[in-house]
Amino acid sequence: MMLDRVVGLLAPSLQGGASAARRDGAETVDRVVVDATLGLGGHAQAILSRYTRARLIGLDRDREALARSQERLAPFGDRFTGVHAVYDRIADVLAGLGIRRVHGVLFDLGVSSLQLDEAGRGFAYAQDAPLDMRMDQSSGPTAADVLNTYDATRLTRILRRYGEERFASRIAAAVVRERQKQPFDTSARLVELVRAAIPAATRRTGGNPAKRTFQALRIEVNGELEALERALPAAVDALAVGGRAVVLSYHSLEDRLVKQVFAAGATSTAPPGLPVELPEHRPVLELLASEPPTDEEVAANPRAASARLRAAERIREAA
């Protein structure tokens, strides 16, 4: 399972060496890992069960998911701390807890099973539901607000950028035209509009034609890429030497950001032509993995089909 690969990649940084300190015959809890996308706590439970020296800080912006994971992880006592926060607040959360360095950071990006499976959240285009799509339902504009207030130019831009939608301008024009008759409030009407706006020949392949539009709206509503742009460097900065960052992404925009941040950390910053590389120019990261799911993993969880697993290890402190 992909979960096993994710958890296994954290092993060297969370297990510690053979000379690990012990107290009263029990291992000391002296390893800190951040699950930046806690969700329902599946990864967190596996990490806490497998690595008995680990304390886990779990972040999630979804209050319902956080409440469920806190109940699930209650048996681990003070080895687990749940925090209601977006993952770009990693530095603030750790500072508030008095933690300077961590030994692992995990991101499992995208929409959680809870959000997809609860029709009322509006994430799934296969079910008619209110067009909400907020991961944190306590604040911010909904997908309906975006559809009903953005002009055609702005709608086209987010559909093209976040959904990589070829027919973004046609869909945006149709939204603006149709909302004048009646504002958008449920997903079924949007799905039908997208279907009608896309040429018939294109609709015959590639699954539900509304998939890219729903992805774009979700990313816009939750500010996902902007948050990830801030979160990844903060996660790298928080790692102790030997600590590892592991990221599961599910579409090319996320994966591109992860690849860029990891590649930058694994590249020397020495100016071209410098005869000797100074210590402060040496890479701070070593790349460990860039892997798609296996056929067995996709068969077990079809939602993993588009996943990309990347991992990197901190190999020196910043200058």
Best CA proximity match to 106, nearest among 316, 310, 318: 310
Per-residue pLDDT tens digits of the chain, which is 319 residues long: 688 999 999 999 998 654 444 444 556 778 999 999 999 999 999 999 999 999 999 999 999 999 999 999 999 999 999 999 999 999 999 999 999 999 999 999 977 666 666 666 767 777 888 999 998 888 889 999 999 999 999 999 999 999 999 999 999 999 999 999 999 999 999 999 999 999 887 765 667 888 899 999 999 999 999 999 999 999 999 999 999 999 999 989 999 999 999 999 999 877 776 777 777 778 999 999 898 888 888 888 877 888 899 999 999 987 6
pTM above 0.85, yes or no: yes
Q: Is 250 annotated as a binding residue?
A: no
> Is residue 42 annotated as involved in ligand binding?
yes
Residue 35 marked as a ligand binder = no
How do the domains of the chain map onto residue ranges? Answer: 2-108+224-314, 121-222
Would you give the DSSP letter of residue 23? E
Note the pLDDT of residue 213. Answer: 94
Other C-beta atoms lying within 10 Å of the C-beta of residue 200: 8
Q: What is the pLDDT of residue 268?
A: 81
Which helix H or strand E contains 243, and what residues bound it?
strand 239-249
- Amino acid symbol at 68: R
**Is 30 annotated among the ligand-binding residues?**
no
Reduced to 3 states (helix: H, G, I; strand: E, B; else coil), residue 37 is coil
How far is 52 from 91, CA to CA, in rounded Å?
A: 24
pLDDT at 18: 44
17 is annotated as contributing to ligand binding: no
Give pLDDT, residue 20. 45
**The predicted structure's pLDDT at residue 19:** 44
Q: Which CATH class is domain 121-222?
A: mainly alpha
Per DSSP, the three-state class of 212 is helix
**Interval 203-240: pLDDT, tens:** 656 678 888 999 999 999 999 999 999 999 999 999 99
Query: Residue 150, annotated ligand binder?
Result: no
CA distance 293 to 288: 16
88 in a known ligand binding site: no
CATH number of 2-108+224-314: 3.40.50.150
pLDDT of residue 117: 61
Residue 165 zone, left/alpha/beta (φ > 0; ψ -120 to 50; rest): beta
Place of tokens 């590249």: 267
